[in-house]
Amino acid sequence: MTRLLEIPAARTLRTADDLVKAGLAAEARELDAVMAAYATAITPGLAGLIDRGDAADPIALQFVPSLAELEVRLEEMPDPIGDKAHEPVEGIVHRYPDRVLLKAVSVCPVYCRFCFRREMVGPDKDSNLTPAELDAALAYIRAHPEIWEVILTGGDPFMLSARRAAALTRALEAIPHVKVIRWHTRMPVADPRKVSGEFVEAIRSRTKAVYVAVHCNHARELTADAKAALGRMADAGIVLLSQSVLLKGVNDSVAALADLMRGLVEARVRPYYLHQLDFAPGTSHFRVAVEDGQRLVRELRDAISGIAQPQYVIDIPGGVSKAVAALSDVDTGADGSRLRGRDGVWREYPTQV
């Protein structure tokens, strides 16, 4: 197979013409309808990882627009996890008492074709918080002493400049009841150089615990640059977690999941969540059946280290909560309990009183 593009593109690919020039689409007009509906961006680093000779390249599948996105199924929804149902002020989602989401920006360095917030993110959505809205969101957090953790999400909050990220961190540090600041980002994978020493300095804290959850779906996303970015955060005392989405053709095999989770652990990232794909519009070509996900996760459990295990979760449509999707190793029936071992064998367990 030949690679059409040996030298990484110099800038982020955003238009159909960009994709054609980069050898990632055959004909520009064909994608017009998809690209009008959903934002597109592929950073030079990720574009450079794509094997042009492989029609099913797992990096291309995640970022290159596809006509399959025009097929919207009945069960798919513009706001699949019900953010809007729990939004007391603009930019805050308060679903669980002790933690809130704070969505400061609605832009991302790349746009994932399966994004659960695809109707809300993009450069033309114009829903970045204004300074006044951000002040109101911070005032809400200040006024609610039960908020123990603030989860910065979006869009991608690492799109903030180092100066604005520092200002946000300082504002949260000044709220005594907030103990944990958690960032959710794809930046270490999408544009690792943006996670500069200056940016890391901006988000680290001496008074609060800082966690960064990195969105990563395939081992190949963990390039040397990505690992260096993760290393800069780990060295600064930031605790690293991961979030992955179970995606057909990208990571729906035990081997792909094992490579991904091991790669994360090697980069000092503790796997956190493996998400069942939400019902966002035009994403059915990525969907893996829950029963298949359960089988994969069980086989993964049997195959690799405990510290490399993500929790398989499903967001209940409409915004109730997450549900734990993994099968249990405990089977309790009328005649007592059985436990399943890593060898796959079920063994009787003494009945307790």
Q: Which of 220, 272, 278, 312 is catalytic?
A: 278
Residue 260 CB neighbours (<10 A): 26
Binding partner selected for residue 99 from ligand SF4, ligand PLP, none, CB under the kind-specific 5 to 8 Å limit: ligand PLP
Residue 252 is among the residues annotated as catalytic for this protein: no
Applying the rule CB under 6 A, the residues between 175 and 204 that interact with ligand SF4 are: 186
Query: Does 112 sit near ligand SF4 (CB under 6 A)?
Result: yes
283: which residues sit within 8 A by CB, 6+ positions away?
A: 69, 76, 113, 114, 118, 277
Residue 216 is among the residues annotated as catalytic for this protein: no
Minimum distance from residue 52 beta carbon to ligand PLP (Å) = 36
Query: Does 81 sit near ligand PLP (CB under 6 A)?
Result: yes
Residue 108 is among the residues annotated as catalytic for this protein: yes
Site string for ligand PLP, 96-125 (x = CB under 6 A): x--x-x------------------------
Which of 151, 189, 195, 233 is in the footprint of ligand PLP by CB under 6 A? Answer: 151
Query: Does 165 sit near ligand SF4 (CB under 6 A)?
Result: no
Residue 335 is among the residues annotated as catalytic for this protein: no
Between residues 101 and 200, which has the closer beta carbon with respect to ligand PLP?
101
Q: Which of 52, 95, 208, 262 is catalytic?
A: 95
Q: Three-state secondary structure along the chain?
A: CCCCCCCCCCCCECCHHHHHHCCCCCCCHHHHHHHHHCCCCECHHHHHHCCCCCCCCHHHHHHCCCHHHHCCCCCCCCCCCCHHHHCCCCCEEEEECCEEEEECCCCCCCCCCCCCCCCCCCCCCCCCCCHHHHHHHHHHHHCCCCCCEEEEECCCHHHCCHHHHHHHHHHHHCCCCCCEEEEEECHHHHCHHHCCHHHHHHHCCCCCEEEEEEECCCHHHCCHHHHHHHHHHHHCCCEEEEEEECCCCCCCCHHHHHHHHHHHHHCCCEEEEEECCCCCCCCHHHCCCHHHHHHHHHHHHHHCCHHHCCEEEEECCCCCCEEECCCCCEEEECCEEEEECCCCCEEEECCCC
Q: Which of 108, 182, 272, 287 is catalytic?
A: 108
Between residues 45 and 154, which has the closer beta carbon with respect to ligand SF4?
154
Applying the rule CB under 6 A, the residues between 306 and 325 that interact with ligand PLP are: 322
Residue 338 is among the residues annotated as catalytic for this protein: no
Query: Does 117 sit near ligand SF4 (CB under 6 A)?
Result: yes
Q: Which of 99, 125, 248, 301 is catalytic?
A: 99
Query: Does 148 sit near ligand PLP (CB under 6 A)?
Result: no
Dmax (CA) for the chain in angstroms is: 70
Residue 115 is among the residues annotated as catalytic for this protein: yes
Residue 112 is among the residues annotated as catalytic for this protein: yes
Residue 38 is among the residues annotated as catalytic for this protein: no
Binding partner selected for residue 220 from ligand SF4, ligand PLP, none, CB under the kind-specific 5 to 8 Å limit: none
For the annotated catalytic residues, the residue numbers are 95-96, 99, 108, 112, 115, 117, 278, 315, 322
Site residues for ligand PLP per CB under 6 A: 81, 93, 95-96, 99, 101, 151, 322
Site residues for ligand SF4 per CB under 6 A: 108, 111-112, 115, 117, 121, 154-156, 186, 215
